Amino acid sequence: MKNHLFALLTAALACSPASAADLVFKDDTGQEVRLKGPAKRIVTLAPHAAESLFAAGAGSKLVGTVDYSDYPPEAKKVARVGGYSRIDLEAVAALKPDLVLAWQSGNNLTQVDKLRALGLTVYVSQPNKMENVADQLIRMGQLAGTEVAANAAAEQFRKRLEGLRKANAGKPKIRVFYQIWKSPLMTVGGPQIISDAITLCGGENVFGQLPQMAPTVSVEAVLAADPEAIVATGMGDAKPEWLHDWDKWTRMTAVKRDNLFHINPDIMQRHTPRILDGAEKLCAHLDVARSHRPAK
């Protein structure tokens, strides 16, 4: 039955003639994406894509998403198609989407290619800068035919982002180690949007020279970098216990000055309008770190 579904879906889409009135876009990988009109049935392969789709006024068109898509609350009611790193391809195909929104650095790209091979239309996004969140909202509005709501949300985001940028311009630099996880010890590299948020707040990512999105580093490398502040996320709103594992390294500047901070990953590690909530907290933490500097 499932193989029959795949065959029918592939054949139907392969036989559809192209139209001069098609909507044509290029996704963030440079690949052409063609729709015969605004998407009516959308599957998102990342929690942030589902959240941003709602923010762009197209939540009613979401028919499938992945585990941990929990914001806004309406997203919890949407059918699941696996996790973002392991997609249930048959579940996606069974929903008969006219558009699949994928995440370049988070999804298994081999699986994404298989979805394309089935004849599904896939748009891949990768917002690496804060302003790209607004770009993502606008594009989702174009894809779903909700441009008015999407453009308004993007404009609101840009105004708030500019306010944060102005408020933190010219502040003394703070060297920051951003810790995603303990074991393995993971941080963010230069291309990651969180690194851009650190810069926005007048910080400097001590591992910003690394090209990976989420590189693994050693304790020794962190000690050698000697960050002035450590910001950790963990699994939720509660401060992870392992944040204070750094307390034993009493010569590290972040420990000496009591600059160990926590931010809920939902508002810092998702490429959605809520990342500005996370950025505000990050900027506030770095202000605290500045206040802990010895008087000259």
Residues 58 and 139 in one domain: yes
Residues 8 and 137 in one domain: yes
pLDDT of residue 17: 43
Domain that holds residue 285: 171-291
Residue 235, pLDDT score? 72
Among 97, 129, 154, identify where a domain stops: 154
Residues 113 and 243 in one domain: no
pTM of the model: 0.89
Number of separate helices (H) and strands (E) present in the chain: 10, 13
Reading the block at residue 14, the tokens are 């392969």
Q: What is the count of structural domains for the chain? A: 2
Q: Give long-range contacts, CB 8 A cutoff, 24+ apart: 12-15.
A: 12/119, 13/118, 13/119, 13/120, 14/119
Same domain, 175 and 140: no
Alpha-carbon torsion angle 209, 240, 286, 173, nearest 10: -20
Question: Final residue of a domain: which of 154, 188, 223?
Answer: 154
Which pLDDT score is estimated for 20? Answer: 47
Whether residue 226 is found in the same domain as residue 258: yes
- Output the domain CATH number for residue 287: 3.40.50.1980
Give just the sign of the alpha carbon dihedral 26, 27, 33, 37: negative
Quote the pLDDT of residue 266: 93
pLDDT recorded at residue 239: 83
The answer to whether residue 162 is domain-embedded is: no
Given this model, what pLDDT does residue 13 score? Answer: 44
pLDDT of residue 21: 67
Task: Write down which residue in 104, 129, 154 finishes a domain.
Answer: 154
CA-to-CA dists, residue 286 to 88, 122, 240, 243, angstroms: 41, 39, 19, 16
pLDDT by residue, tens only, the chain of 296 residues: 445 444 444 444 444 444 446 899 999 999 999 999 999 999 999 999 999 999 999 999 999 999 999 999 999 999 999 999 899 999 999 999 999 999 999 999 999 999 999 999 999 999 999 999 999 999 999 999 999 999 999 999 999 999 999 999 999 999 999 999 999 999 999 999 999 999 999 999 999 999 999 999 999 999 999 999 999 997 777 788 889 999 999 999 999 999 999 999 999 999 999 999 999 999 999 999 999 999 87
For residue 37, the model assigns a pLDDT of 95
